[in-house]
Structure 1
Amino acid sequence: MNQSLRVAMPVPENQPADPVRNYRALLAAEGDSAVVQALLAQALYDTGDYTGAVAAADAALRGHPTDGVARITRASALNALCRFEAAAADFAVLAQAHPGRAAILIGLGTAYAEAGQPREAIAALMQAIAAEPGNAEAAAALGAVCARTGNAAAAITACRYALTLDPDQVIAHQNLAALLAADDPAVAVHRDAAYRRKQIVTIAGPPAAPAVLVLTCAAAANIPLDHLLPRRRFTQIRWFIDYACPDQDRELPPHDLVFNAIGDPDLMPDLRAPVERMLRETDRPVLNHPARIRDIHRAALPELLGGLPDVVVPPVTRVARDRHDENLWLVAHCLPVIVRPAGSHGGENLVCAATEAEATAAIARAPHSYVTDFYDYRAAADGLHRKYRVIFVDRVAYPYHLAIGPDWLVHYWTAGMAEAPARRAEEARFLRDPARAIGARAMAALGAIAARLDLDYAGIDFSVLPDGRVLVFEANATMLVHPETDAMFAYKNEAVAVILAAVDRMIAQRSGRIGSVSG
């Protein structure tokens, strides 16, 4: 429980070492008492019995509905049980009863954030800052919520404000390290400030949840985990391995399995000795082993997937600018070519070069680039480009989305799907029955690709050529999966739920905790 929310209450004299037993004895001897029930709730919370704490707090509130101790304890226990909506309701009652209490408003804001109500979270945290402008915790929490909603400018402002109040606010440093441009000199400063202090961060799920040791890093190379390993079902123990300390592998909290969330081999840090030792000595299952991820970079795909029936992988060459080999790609490629900076995603700085001069200029903009042959994959019927995405969970293919647009560089939110009901309807058909949508040849090819990648979690972006073959754009472990909140795209959520359930099953099976993962 947040100590700033704890309300001091009188404790009986000569209290035994076991406060829970003491308060229960008082209740048995003297009958029900709201005050004692509230104290019992606090004591149960302190022992980690959150369910018992909620029950005792409920009993106290029945006798004294305005008891602040019981309400705070109940809200904190509900948070610990990951019952965030109910916790937010309790904090809202407290905020109304005690207006202007920054600690209560922070509790309300963080509960709203975990419950998936970002607007309400931001409003509560703004109230906390207004009530107590010098509260760095409120400003850092606001920055974190804004970052989760994609409002980078507001997040950066809030985090910088938090650091003016408290230069040691780790959450603010973490978010600034992730939000600032990669070439901003401040990024390294914020990373060091955040992760040299603390390399292991535990995000606790419910008490019985499987514990997943997540290998992660400070660079933007990680699989987004908010939906794959939601706090309501899993405890995440995040280990920032690029800052791992000597012998830190001996100090890791108990866990059921290891999940390597670093999906981009171009941004994966060198493994430090304690990480290598942990991977070598652990008796826990390791999902997406780092060694396997390193083998699956863009330039490796043509050879890795070579020879698979009905699979087309354009030639790819990795070019290093500082080795003066900018023009070596000419040996293996024909114009036009796509030039992509290594480690970039989402089409950032991606160029389709029609001439040698354009390609050379694009290659010169980044230390390392990938050069790929361009394939014209427009459909003859309507002249549109189709980019399918399928997620592989334990080597099984699940449809995730279909983006359809007029430009060769197809990204879901810039393809005009919102303005095209017919395209959304086509996507819905693909999600309901992918085999019918893309054909048996393409589905068989995807199964072969999943087996050849041999990753526990990955994805592929591809198109289907007129003859039914699969044209591979990329296949790796960086693919994002998330439910849709916009009603226009709610039809996608059934397919999302299938993918997330498959991840749940895989983790339950690998960890030996079958039946312990529940919604």
Structure 2
Amino acid sequence: MPVPENQPADPVRGYRALLVAEGDSAVVQALLAQVLYDTGDYTGAVAAADAALRGHPTDGVARITRASALNALCRFEAAAADFAVLAKAHPGRAAILIGLGTAYAEAGQPREAIAALMQAIAAEPGNAEAAAALGAVCARTGNAAAAITACRYALTLDPDQVIAHQNLAALLAADDPAVAVHRDAAYRRKQIVTIAGPPAAPAVLVLTCAAAANIPLDHLLPRRRFTQIRWFIDYACPDQDRELPPHDLVFNAIGDPDLMPDLRAPVERMLRETDRPVLNHPARIRDIHRAALPELLGGLPDVVVPQVTRVARDRHDENLWLVAHCLPVIVRPAGSHGGENLVCAATEAEATAAIARAPHSYVTDFYDYRAAADGLHRKYRVIFVDRVAYPYHLAIGPDWLVHYWTAGMAEAPARRAEEALFLRDPARAIGARAMAALGAIAARLDLDYAGTDFSVLPDGRVLVFEANATMLVHPETDAMFAYKNEAVAVILAAVDRMIAQRSGRIGSVSG
């Protein structure tokens, strides 16, 4: 196609020559910034936009180009500041408010993001992009009800809003028939989703799936340091492995073997033929389900793993557990986490009723692990990164089913102090014997990223509750729990080092 007479064959060179010939010009710098942005030179675009704004501070084109380039560089706070200037100068512009809300969300300012996106919807009620973005932010903050409402509204405006379908598929209850509809709408048309980091960031091919089986990656692979190429392998198309974007390594984020989909031919071929490192290989994840743990960790010194039996309701083997277990027992649906639908059954009838509620269940021996000194239950968590144990948290509560946010930690300064000691000096907190046991567990699991929840018995042995790859790691925003963030930073730095070493991109991964 011929180049129009009024447009240089190389616009960047042409605009630079114009600046040399005729002196600095805010208009030319703004045009140069746009061209540099379009060619992917985001750093150059910011510099040209800066020059334009020095000469013409109210130039909206230069400002929005700068904001967009800053977003592409993952400098989200600076991008938000530019979008805020634009929103003030051009009130009621939905596109600007969406940009502002998105930048705030990426900068970790969800309240400000929600406010901006609500303004965008108020300014333009028919804007499906704004509604879908609002749903995504609400989902990230844990406000499921608001997220579902926003996503459903977005789909009334535009039934093809993929982000809204993705979030509804994740948010709705697993037994809601609409889940399959939303998954298909999201992933049949788009199986590969790229979340771009800075231009020089290592690219990680993430094997993921539509089910709630995945390792949470927002903090392990943050956008400021990594590009994520998410491949929803349960929807992989034939020969799609031949079309994957370039990447430095593969990270299998599907951590729950109960929910892992069957590997389709292109995924199996990629895993077989790739010359890139594969972290948490799916074949290894499949071997580490709850019922396998007693045998897998069996024989390790100072490690106690309660007996576990998997039962299937439709095979009428609900009573198989009676052979291997004594009451009381813990019954949990396969694929469940966070204590959801967990039952401690004291009688055979209670156990049978709990097993009948789910297609597949795990029956586990119950251990009374209360501390004799204070009658409290202690559940520790360590994260294994490249087979090294790092302390993550300690929940202390009066009930046997201990979960951090229901254990009363906020109301108990002494418990928080005990947790802080564990995070600061785990060997002192639980003893050398338990630390050696954790090292042996990490080696036996043989995963690149995993973790275990456990307690320490009075004789110093480790009582394992679970050990798998689905463990969540995240920094705390509540000042009361800020003491945990140093330990979180150590874990995240270990993940960075592992990826840098495995990918050969040492020096490319930085904060």
TM over 0.5: yes
Deviation at 1:16, TM superposition (A): 1.4
TM-score after normalising by structure 1: 0.98
CA distance in structure 1 between the partners assigned to 2:9 and 2:444 by the alignment: 60
The equivalent of 2:217 in structure 1 is: 225
CA distance in structure 1 between the partners assigned to 2:376 and 2:221 by the alignment: 36
1:84-115 Cα shifts (integer Å, max 9, x gaps) = 00000000000000000000000000000000
CA contact (8 A) 2:255 2:469 kept: yes
1:244-271 Cα shifts (integer Å, max 9, x gaps) = 0000000000000000000000000000
1:405-437 Cα shifts (integer Å, max 9, x gaps) = 000000000000000000000000000000000
TM-score after normalising by structure 2: 0.99
Instruction: Determine helix, strand or coil for the equivalent of 1:479.
Output: coil
152, 158, 165: which one aligns with 2:150: 158
CA contact (8 A) 2:280 2:447 kept: yes
CA contact (8 A) 2:3 2:9 kept: no
The equivalent of 2:99 in structure 1 is: 107
Runs of 5+ unmatched residues, structure 1? 1-8
Instruction: Determine helix, strand or coil for the equivalent of 1:317.
Output: strand
The equivalent of 1:436 in structure 2 is: 428
CA distance in structure 2 between the partners assigned to 1:183 and 1:138 by the alignment: 28
Instruction: Determine helix, strand or coil for the equivalent of 1:318.
Output: strand
Deviation at 1:293, TM superposition (A): 0.2
The equivalent of 1:187 in structure 2 is: 179
CA contact (8 A) 2:105 2:137 kept: yes
Deviation at 1:10, TM superposition (A): 19
CA distance in structure 2 between the partners assigned to 1:148 and 1:333 by the alignment: 40
The equivalent of 1:425 in structure 2 is: 417
CA distance in structure 2 between the partners assigned to 1:361 and 1:148 by the alignment: 35
Instruction: Determine helix, strand or coil for the equivalent of 1:187.
Output: helix
CA distance in structure 1 between the partners assigned to 2:454 and 2:233 by the alignment: 32
Q: CA RMSD in A?
A: 1.5
The equivalent of 2:269 in structure 1 is: 277
Deviation at 1:17, TM superposition (A): 1.7
CA distance in structure 1 between the partners assigned to 2:191 and 2:79 by the alignment: 29
353, 363, 366: which one aligns with 1:371: 363
CA distance in structure 1 between the partners assigned to 2:326 and 2:508 by the alignment: 53
1:264-311 Cα shifts (integer Å, max 9, x gaps) = 000000000000000000000000000000000000000000000000
Instruction: Determine helix, strand or coil for the equivalent of 1:481.
Output: coil
Asked if residue 142 in structure 1 is aligned to residue 134 in structure 2, the reply is: yes
Deviation at 1:13, TM superposition (A): 5.5
CA distance in structure 1 between the partners assigned to 2:219 and 2:108 by the alignment: 11
Deviation at 1:12, TM superposition (A): 9.9
Instruction: Determine helix, strand or coil for the equivalent of 1:105.
Output: helix
CA contact (8 A) 2:209 2:261 kept: yes
Instruction: Determine helix, strand or coil for the equivalent of 1:194.
Output: helix
1:139-191 Cα shifts (integer Å, max 9, x gaps) = 00000000000000000000000000000000000000000000000000000
CA distance in structure 2 between the partners assigned to 1:15 and 1:324 by the alignment: 75
CA distance in structure 2 between the partners assigned to 1:467 and 1:346 by the alignment: 28
Instruction: Determine helix, strand or coil for the equivalent of 1:268.
Output: coil
After TM superposition, the structure 1 = structure 2 runs for residues 473-492 of structure 1, keeping only pairs within 5 Å, are: 473-492=465-484
CA distance in structure 2 between the partners assigned to 1:216 and 1:22 by the alignment: 45
CA distance in structure 2 between the partners assigned to 1:200 and 1:411 by the alignment: 35
Instruction: Determine helix, strand or coil for the equivalent of 1:110.
Output: helix
CA distance in structure 1 between the partners assigned to 2:140 and 2:14 by the alignment: 44
CA contact (8 A) 2:258 2:334 kept: yes
Runs of 5+ unmatched residues, structure 2? none
Deviation at 1:14, TM superposition (A): 2.3
CA distance in structure 2 between the partners assigned to 1:153 and 1:13 by the alignment: 56
CA distance in structure 2 between the partners assigned to 1:453 and 1:68 by the alignment: 55
1:337-382 Cα shifts (integer Å, max 9, x gaps) = 0000000000000000000000000000000000000000000000
CA distance in structure 1 between the partners assigned to 2:6 and 2:156 by the alignment: 46
CA contact (8 A) 2:103 2:113 kept: yes
CA contact (8 A) 2:355 2:361 kept: yes
CA distance in structure 1 between the partners assigned to 2:233 and 2:404 by the alignment: 32
333, 356, 361: which one aligns with 2:325: 333
217, 227, 232: which one aligns with 1:235: 227
Instruction: Determine helix, strand or coil for the equivalent of 1:189.
Output: helix
The equivalent of 2:310 in structure 1 is: 318
Instruction: Determine helix, strand or coil for the equivalent of 1:262.
Output: coil
Instruction: Determine helix, strand or coil for the equivalent of 1:23.
Output: helix
CA distance in structure 2 between the partners assigned to 1:107 and 1:340 by the alignment: 43
CA distance in structure 1 between the partners assigned to 2:67 and 2:4 by the alignment: 25
Aligned length: 511
The equivalent of 1:6 in structure 2 is: none
1:3-48 Cα shifts (integer Å, max 9, x gaps) = xxxxxx9999522121111110110110000000000000000111
The equivalent of 2:460 in structure 1 is: 468
Instruction: Determine helix, strand or coil for the equivalent of 2:393.
Output: strand
1:452-497 Cα shifts (integer Å, max 9, x gaps) = 0000000000000000000000000000000000000000000000
CA distance in structure 1 between the partners assigned to 2:105 and 2:316 by the alignment: 49
1:178-233 Cα shifts (integer Å, max 9, x gaps) = 00000000000000000001000000000000000000000000000000000000
Instruction: Determine helix, strand or coil for the equivalent of 1:228.
Output: coil
Instruction: Determine helix, strand or coil for the equivalent of 1:418.
Output: helix
CA contact (8 A) 2:83 2:96 kept: yes
CA distance in structure 2 between the partners assigned to 1:227 and 1:253 by the alignment: 22
| Percent pairwise identity | 99
